[in-house]
Structure 1
Amino acid sequence: MSLRWEEVVVDCRDQVALSRWWIEVLGWEVVDADEDETELRNPEGGATILFANVPEAKTVKNRIHLDFVPDDQDAEVARLLALGASRVDVGQGDESWVVLADPEGNEFCILSAR
């Protein structure tokens, strides 16, 4: 038996706007889209992110989130804030990572450079 990770699905109110934001953030490309969903993939391959329209807005902290490792954490956080991300306090305290949210409030972390 084998199991392969295919995609992460992000529920959102406006999949077109949110997927465009993540394209700007990650430099990924659209591999499939229709009026309800947009799927993005890293040009180098791997699992995808599927943005799917849902009628309700996000109301609580994510139970799963994405972590990213930049070359320069401060510069990357500044870039993402300039693109429309916001800082989020999920009770992380004084940690080495920075918690941000995309324009629809989905949390993600920018870890310290490795």
Structure 2
Amino acid sequence: MSLEWEQVIVDSVDSVALGEWWRVALGWVVVDDRRGDYEIRPAPDRLPGLLFGEGAPPKQGKNRLHLDLRPDDRDAEVERLLALGATRVDVGQGDVSWVVLADPEGNEFCVLSSP
């Protein structure tokens, strides 16, 4: 018996808008937008993906799960994501080597320091 990680489900107010934001942010491709859901992956045949489901109320409070992203250049990537519409977020992280941002619907994620 084996398991494969297929995707992370992200509840959203607008699945297409949020999914498209993450598609551009990550440079991924759309693999499914037929059912009102919006799924993106690194490539059509690569897992895991992100599946954005529609109909959730606006987010309230801190995420219980978030993504950590490791770029080649943290500061340049933070500026690029801010230009795409991300916002800086203070979740009480203090003075750390990563930057906490939120996507357009308020979902927090971290941009880690460069390797």
| TM-score, structure 2 normalization | 0.94
Match of 1:34 in 2: 34
The secondary structure found in structure 2 opposite 1:52 is strand
**Which aligned pairs between 1:57-76 and structure 2 lie closer than 5 A?**
57-76=58-77
State the shift of 1:54 in Å: 2.1
Match of 2:83 in 1: 82
Match of 1:22 in 2: 22
| TM-score, structure 1 normalization | 0.95
Aligned residues: 114
Root-mean-square deviation (Å): 1.1
Match of 2:106 in 1: 105
What runs of 5+ residues in structure 1 fail to find an aligned partner? none
Q: After superposing the two structures, state which structure 1 stretch, 36-45 or 25-34, moved more.
A: 36-45
> Could you tell me how far apart the structure 2 residues matched to 1:39 and 1:106 are?
17
> Could you tell me how far apart the structure 2 residues matched to 1:55 and 1:3 are?
28
Contact 2:8 2:49 survives alignment (8 Å): yes
State the shift of 1:35 in Å: 4.8
What runs of 5+ residues in structure 2 fail to find an aligned partner? none
State the shift of 1:23 in Å: 1.2
Percent identity over paired residues: 61
The secondary structure found in structure 2 opposite 1:78 is helix
> Could you tell me how far apart the structure 2 residues matched to 1:54 and 1:36 are?
10
CA offsets per residue over residues 28-85 of structure 1, 9 Å max, x none?
1111113521010102712010000124110111100000000100000000001100
> Could you tell me how far apart the structure 1 residues matched to 2:89 and 2:55 are?
23
